[in-house]
Each structure stands twice: as structure tokens, then as C-alpha cells.
């Protein structure tokens, strides 16, 4: 997913940078609060793209003595930072601009340039959104809906771009409505109301993104289908009698830790147990290459033997 994630992020950065410049020029020329909010939004999204690229770069560092499982969670941390910035700078500043426009309304100016910029912006944002969606769907589980796939995704980079671009296109619609209705009804307050609504949209997206990032940063396990598959693979081995519930944790989109307690066949020798462990590890890694760290623990045979001796005495 790394190359696909970077492609989506680069598309978002270049699109947002071009849009931010044109929106800011249009806002300066027309005095539109909604257009200024949209310019701030695009500028924040540009910076957020840079932070996502930073997270991708830092998360790809190899494991070392201080971080034996690698730096994969760097990506989750920087995604959380992006969510905070969207809330504070995007949502907060847009809402502030809207309130100030309501307190000090200015007569609507000629909106022609605003319409032109909004049209180009929608094309650019739509292109970036399409690229991000296509990259996200490449690894999608067909049995899940798009929202379910976002919830289960362990790669926050692409769905962050999806969230941002979705909010951007919705914000463009709101900005257009505010500017058009304000000019049509000769009501300067509608432009400020549109700016506040854009701020609320960004705040809502930031909360959803922060929630997803928090779960990944705290430590989410693999999905139930993967856990069931791992257990079935282990129990299919002739040397395994029983497998307790596998424990997993994501240290990155493609780095998973697996710990599993196994009851081996009591007739196996030490060498046969070792061979069984090797077979189980190979079968799990063959089907689930993202599980890079596997720790198998043999359930105590001594305790079970002692219990049987007590029962028979």
C-alpha cells in the first residue's frame, strides 16, 4: 500500500496547493468569507499532505534495539496530528471567519471570479478524490461496504485523503450555495453562514479521523476473519491438538504481531514439536504475509499430567 498511499497523497498535495492559491486570490478580490475559508481549508490540506508523507517516511525505518517491532506506528501518530490540525486550523479558523463576517458584513461583490475558482477547484478536488478512492479500492475486501472497509483499514493514509477530499467537495458546494444565495438575495450574512458550516464540516471530519487514528495508535488487533484463519491454519497441523484464541496487534499497515498458545500432541518429541512450530509459522506467513512477528507458546503439559494423576488417585 505504500506506493499507492504516496500516489494519493501527492495528488492531494498538488491539487490543494493550486486550489489554495486561486481561492485566496479570489477571496482577496471579492471579499468573500466563504471563499477565504475554502482557501484556508486547502492550505491546511496541503500541509497535512506533507505530514502524511513524513509519517510514511518515518514509519518505513527498519527495526532497531529501541524499537524491535519497527516504527510503523509513526504513521498513526502523524495521522492523529493531521486530524488535530484539520479541527483547529481548518474548522476553527473557518468558523471564526464566518462569525466575524456575521458581525461585520460586507455587501456582496461580483461573484464571477468565485464561481470560476469554485468550478476549477471542484475538478481538482474530484480528481484527487478519484485517485485516492481508486488506490483504496485496490485492496478492498469485496464483502464489505466502503464505510466498513474504512473502519477496518489499518492504513490511515489513503482514508485520510478520502476524508479530506470528501470534506473539500462538500465545502465547495456549501461555499457556492452561500455565495450564490447571498448575491441572489442581496444578503451578506449568508456568506458568513456558509463559512461557519464549512468549519463544522471540517470539525466533524477531524473527529472521525481522530477516532480512527486513536484506535490504531492505542493498538488494534487483526480483524476476526484473519484471527479465525490463523487459528484454522494452526489446528489443521497434525501435531496440534488445540489452539487458544490468537492475540494480535498492528504495528503498521503491513506489520502484525501474533502470539498464540498451542496445545501440542503429547506423543511428540522435542524435535517433532520444533518441526510442528516451523510448519505452523510457514503456513501462517504464506497466507498472511503481513504477520511478520510470530510467537508460539506451548501450553504446559506438566500441569495437565499432574491433574490427570490427581484424578486417577
Q: CATH number for the domain including 127?
A: 1.20.1510.10
Distances (CA, A) of 24 to 33, 186, 205: 10, 23, 23
Mean pLDDT of the chain: 83
Tell me which of 172, 187, 218 is where a domain ends: 218
Q: What total number of domains does the chain contain? A: 2
pLDDT value for 108: 66
- Measured CA to CA, the distance from residue 260 to residue 115 in angstroms comes to 60
pLDDT value for 28: 79
Q: Counting beta carbons within 10 angstroms of the beta carbon of residue 312, is it exposed (0 to 12), middle (13 to 18) or buried (19 or more)?
A: exposed
State the residue range of the domain holding 159. 2-218
Tell me which of 186, 203, 218 is where a domain ends: 218
DSSP-assigned beta bridge partners for residue 297: 261
- Measured CA to CA, the distance from residue 306 to residue 48 in angstroms comes to 60
The contacts of residue 159 (CB under 8 Å, 6+ apart) are 136, 150, 153, 212
pLDDT value for 49: 87
Is the pLDDT score of 109 beyond 80? no
Q: What are phi and psi of 280, to 5 degrees?
A: -60, -45
pTM above 0.85, yes or no: no
1-15, 115-129, 155-169, 295-309, range with the lowest pLDDT: 295-309
Q: Would you put residue 31 in left (φ > 0), alpha (ψ -120 to 50) or beta?
A: left
97, 41 contact by CB (below 8 A): no
13-27, 41-55, 137-151, 276-290, range with the lowest pLDDT: 137-151
User: What cell numbers appear for 55 in the block?
Assistant: 509519517
pLDDT value for 40: 80
Same domain, 13 and 117: yes
User: What cell numbers appear for 27 in the block?
Assistant: 477571496
For every residue of 66-107, DSSP letters joined together read S-TT-STHHHHHHHHHHHHHIIIIIIIHHHHHHHHHHHS---
Distances (CA, A) of 29 to 102, 103, 296, 305: 19, 21, 66, 85
Same domain, 288 and 235: yes
DSSP alpha helix (H) spans, the chain: 2-30, 33-59, 73-85, 93-103, 112-137, 146-152, 156-184, 189-218, 224-235, 270-287, 301-312
Same domain, 299 and 165: no
pLDDT (tens digit per residue) in 124-150? 888 888 887 887 777 677 777 777 777
Same domain, 166 and 304: no
Same domain, 159 and 13: yes
pLDDT (tens digit per residue) in 196-251? 998 899 899 889 888 888 888 888 888 888 899 999 999 999 999 889 888 999 98
Same domain, 11 and 146: yes
The sign of the torsion formed by the CA atoms of 170, 172, 176, 178 equals positive
Tell me which of 218, 248, 277 is where a domain ends: 218
Same domain, 247 and 291: yes
Same domain, 182 and 200: yes
Same domain, 197 and 239: no
Is the pLDDT score of 311 beyond 70? no
Same domain, 290 and 235: yes
Same domain, 59 and 116: yes
- Measured CA to CA, the distance from residue 75 to residue 55 in angstroms comes to 4
The contacts of residue 245 (CB under 8 Å, 6+ apart) are 227, 231
Amino acid at each position: 500500500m505504500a506506493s499507492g498511499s504516496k500516489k494519493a497523497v501527492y495528488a492531494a498535495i498538488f491539487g490543494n496547493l493550486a486550489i489554495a492559491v486561486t481561492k485566496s486570490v479570489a477571496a482577496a478580490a471579492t471579499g468573500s468569507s466563504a471563499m477565504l475559508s475554502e482557501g484556508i481549508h486547502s492550505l491546511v490540506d496541503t500541509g497535512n499532505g506533507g505530514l502524511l508523507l513524513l509519517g510514511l517516511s518515518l514509519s518505513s525505518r527498519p527495526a532497531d534495539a529501541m524499537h524491535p517491532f519497527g516504527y510503523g506506528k509513526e504513521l498513526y501518530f502523524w495521522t492523529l496530528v493531521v486530524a488535530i490540525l484539520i479541527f483547529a486550523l481548518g474548522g476553527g479558523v473557518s468558523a471564526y471567519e464566518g462569525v466575524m463576517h456575521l458581525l461585520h458584513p460586507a455587501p456582496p461583490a461580483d461573484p464571477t471570479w468565485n464561481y470560476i475558482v469554485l468550478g476549477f477547484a471542484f475538478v481538482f478536488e474530484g480528481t484527487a478524490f478519484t485517485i485516492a478512492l481508486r488506490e483504496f479500492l485496490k485492496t478492498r475486501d469485496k464483502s464489505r461496504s466502503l464505510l466498513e472497509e474504512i473502519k477496518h483499514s489499518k492504513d490511515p493514509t489513503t482514508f485520510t485523503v478520502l476524508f479530506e477530499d470528501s470534506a473539500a467537495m462538500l465545502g465547495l458546494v456549501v461555499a457556492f450555495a452561500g455565495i450564490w444565495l447571498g448575491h441572489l438575495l442581496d444578503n451578506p450574512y449568508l456568506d458568513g453562514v456558509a463559512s461557519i458550516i464549512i468549519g463544522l464540516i471540517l470539525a466533524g471530519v477531524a473527529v472521525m479521523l481522530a477516532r480512527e487514528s486513536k484506535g490504531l495508535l492505542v493498538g488494534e488487533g487483526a480483524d476476526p476473519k484473519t484471527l479465525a484463519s490463523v487459528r484454522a491454519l494452526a489446528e489443521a497441523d497434525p501435531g496440534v491438538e488445540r489452539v487458544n484464541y490468537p492475540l494480535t496487534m498492528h504495528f503498521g499497515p503491513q506489520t502484525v504481531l501474533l502470539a498464540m498458545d498451542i496445545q501440542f500432541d503429547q506423543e511428540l518429541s522435542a524435535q517433532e514439536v520444533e518441526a510442528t512450530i516451523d510448519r505452523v509459522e510457514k503456513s501462517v506467513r504464506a497466507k498472511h504475509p503481513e504477520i511478520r512477528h510470530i510467537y508460539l507458546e506451548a501450553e504446559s503439559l506438566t500441569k495437565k499430567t499432574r491433574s490427570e494423576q490427581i484424578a486417577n488417585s
